[in-house]
Amino acid sequence: MLPTLDADELALVTGGADAIPAFGRCGPADRWRWLGNVYTPQCAAHDAVVRDALASGSSRFGAQLRGLRLLPAAVGSYLSSVMSGGSKSGSR
């Protein structure tokens, strides 16, 4: 018997959804709301590495380790955006 997929799972496996909520948002997914909604290319690059590692079978911890080298640039981009008056509640 074939497994069944709900709509969210189907969207995920067909590429219609992202495995990382809030892709490109600086901070841990949609947690730590106090960081605001800052989206930067550096945070997106970190998320892409984590997403690709998860897709290749890494554990969540292993995927984060793979993205660790991009974390300083992501944090720096967040701080730069906030310090320069970038919107903490803006859109992507």
Task: Read off the pLDDT of residues 30-67 as tens digits, 9 standing for 90 and up.
Answer: 777 888 888 899 999 999 999 899 999 999 899 999 99
Coil, strand or helix: which one is 25?
strand
User: Quick one: average pLDDT of 76-80?
Assistant: 94
- CA distances, 73 to each of 15, 68, 70 (Å): 27, 10, 6
Provide the residue ranges of all domains of the chain, joining segments of one domain with +. Answer: 21-83
- The residues pairing with 25 across neighbouring beta strands, listed in sequence order, are 39
Decide if 82 contacts 38 (C-beta within 8 A): yes
